[in-house]
Chain A
Amino acid sequence: MQQYGMVIGLTLLAVVVAVAFALAAKAARGVEQFRDEHHVHFTGRKDG
């Protein structure tokens, strides 16, 4: 632990940040895609 703690800790922090942004980006793309496919604005109305 004494030897590898810093490496483990900093790597873990980097992974958490990367995963958090990746999941958010994936979900945001999902919302965009849904809007394009269904022509829906999320304000309770439909396009045309």
Chain B
Amino acid sequence: MSDTPKNESRAGTALDEGNAVVEARPSQSSDKAILHQYGYAQQLLRDMGGFSNFAISFSIISILTGAVTLYGTGLNAGGPVIMGIGWPLVTLFVLCISASLGELASAIPTSGALYHWSALLGGAGWGWFTAWLNLLGLVAAIAGIDYGCAQFMVPLLNLPDAPVSYLSVFGVILLTHAILNHIGIRAVARLNDFSAVYHMVGVAVVVLALAFFAPKQPVSFLFTKTFTTMSDKPYWFAFLSGLLQAQWTYTGYDASAHTIEETKDARVRAPWGIYLSVAVSGVFGYLMLAFVTLAIKDLDKTAAASNPFIFIFEQALGGVFGKIVLWTVTLAMWFCGLSCVTSTSRMIFAFSRDKGMPLSSVWANVSRKFRTPAAAVWLASILAFLLPCLIFGIVALRPKALDFGKLYPAVTGISTVALYLSYGFPLLLKVRAVRKGIWSRSTDGPWSLGNWSMPVAYISIAWIAFITVLFVIPPNDLTGYIFGGTLAALIFLYFAAARGRFAGPVPQATSEEEMRRIEAEFEHNIEGTV
């Protein structure tokens, strides 16, 4: 890219137009040595094993969160068929995307992940846009998940149904996430491990309870029962719109890549974390959705309920079990939000380390006591808190024209589109690099699909392009307007403030000695310094 200042070389001994990857290809096998090859010191605590890396992505995908919050959206759009056919259809393409991203994570194992891959393969401009889209998607995801958690928690705690209650509970949830993420990756990793088991056991309990005690529809109900409340659209279009339920659920698995600098044997374990989090979520998600849908007694009444998922439980198993499920899901959402803050903070840290954000030097700070990107953790939490506040503010200004109930679900759409575009850019640039001969087999990391790599990448890119269009056209036009406006603002910001100034990945040190000096500051663990 021409906008890279000549006096500042990019991390990984960068060359123009993506040759960086070839040059930066690690020749040594240890995690720290590989990070050094990209010009970064080991500042974060590398303590996560393979299961923890898998668990963080699995917790963010959080089948209990995604399925429950958007079950009604899917059911109203496409009926039972959206669960029986829509979920596996989306799973098929997301498996391809996760495998393609896994390959990139294995080849370039840095916390910046998507942003860093785009910057190395396409230059600073591509990296900048990927970073901001990824950040937008992640912050919207935290807001969507934790505000959703607050919406469930307020009635459970018998608090008044008022914006101040929701915002207060939302703030407390975010505060717990920020504190836990501040004090250490070990604590968060243990909670994520527990969360992964919790999700699997939670789904097993739901499935077994419904299998033994609930009345069941025939299996054909899942595959043949078409239903939609979108009477002005043909069924096939309504079905496609309903795919948002599955596609929103399958977001955030880039967390395994964002925590790659904290994972041992990162080049193998992080790609498996990305891929397996999707595959395992696919299996458990399908089992849950199938059994819940087969327990529907009255489809019209269920679709009209305020939360069809909970309604099915109350109808099939009684109010007490419905309440137990509600608490189970609320806790799952809390775990999901916790992991999402971890992932977002690593993204902010990595982007700031390369001077990509305003006040970068602040957000790139790593706590010497806890070895976590503490400032980035708080920034992620504050930004997530501000999003619903902003929406409340906009609605308060124009109460007749706008409705919070309609505006807020657009957040899930924005998060999905922004995240998937940020997944798509590095994949597109990798394909371009392969076609130009910049990326060859020898550039691949150990986790590679070999000669399947390109076909799988093409399928992934095509699906991302398809859903990007699908989720911004009517009936998701509100998402389209907000996302379009945000994108226009980003383009303006890039040309006004970032072009020519943002250099892309910048090495923290140029010699091993300097690198060791930076690392020594953290390894000595200066007490009392945060």
Contact = CB atoms under 8 A, between A and B. Distances in A.
B129 interface: no
B456 A23 contact: yes
Highest count of chain A CB atoms <10 Å: which of B32, B235, B446: B446
A37 to B, nearest CB: 9
B276 to A, nearest CB: 8
A41 B31 CA distance: 12
Contacts of B99: 23, 27
Contacts of A35: 446
Task: Classify chain B's interface size.
Answer: 35 or more
B29 A26 contact: no
A30 B446 contact: yes
Interface string B430-453: 000000000000001111111010
Contact of A30 (B84, B85, B276, B450): B450
A30 B28 CA distance: 18
Interface string B102-122: 100000000000000000000
A13 B88 contact: yes
Highest count of chain A CB atoms <10 Å: which of B30, B223, B279: B223
Contacts of B268: 31, 42
Nearest to B286: A13
B235 to A, nearest CB: 8
B275 interface: yes
B271 interface: yes
Interface residues of A, number: 31
A5 B85 contact: yes
A44 B84 CA distance: 44
Interface string B211-222: 000000000101
A15 B89 CA distance: 10
Interface string B71-102: 00000000001001100110110011001001
Contact of A16 (B92, B275, B456): B92
B285 to A, nearest CB: 12
A38 B25 CA distance: 13
B275 A45 contact: no
B87 to A, nearest CB: 9
B510 interface: no
A9 B265 contact: no
Given A20-B279, A26-B452, A38 B81 contact: no
Interface string B47-86: 0000000000000000000000000000000000100110
Interface string B256-287: 00000000110111011001100100100000
A34 B91 contact: no
A41 B84 CA distance: 42
B447 A10 contact: no
A30 B448 contact: yes
A29 B276 CA distance: 16
B224 interface: yes
Interface string B358-369: 000000000000
A34 B88 contact: no
A38 B27 CA distance: 10
Given A1-B224, A6-B224, A12-B85, A24 B92 contact: no
B450 A26 contact: yes
Contacts of B269: 42
Given A5-B223, A5-B224, A16-B95, A31 B450 contact: no
Interface string B28-40: 1111100000000
Given A13-B88, A44-B29, A45-B29, A26 B449 contact: yes
Nearest to B85: A9
Contact of B447 (A5, A30, A40, A43): A30
B9 interface: no
B449 A30 contact: yes
23 contacts: A1-B81, A1-B224, A1-B235, A5-B81, A5-B224, A8-B223, A9-B223, A16-B88, A19-B92, A20-B282, A23-B96, A24-B276, A27-B99, A27-B271, A27-B449, A31-B447, A34-B445, A34-B448, A35-B446, A40-B29, A42-B29, A42-B265, A42-B269
Given A26-B452, A33-B450, A45-B30, 16 more contacts: A1-B235, A5-B84, A5-B220, A8-B85, A12-B85, A13-B88, A19-B92, A19-B96, A23-B99, A23-B452, A24-B279, A27-B447, A34-B445, A42-B268, A45-B29, A46-B29
- Of all A-B residue pairs in the complex, the 9 with the closest CB atoms, nearest first, are A9-B223, A5-B224, A34-B446, A30-B448, A5-B223, A44-B30, A42-B265, A40-B29, A16-B88
Interface of B: 28-32, 81, 84-85, 88-89, 91-92, 95-96, 99, 102, 220, 222-224, 226, 235, 264-265, 267-269, 271-272, 275-276, 279, 282, 444-450, 452, 456
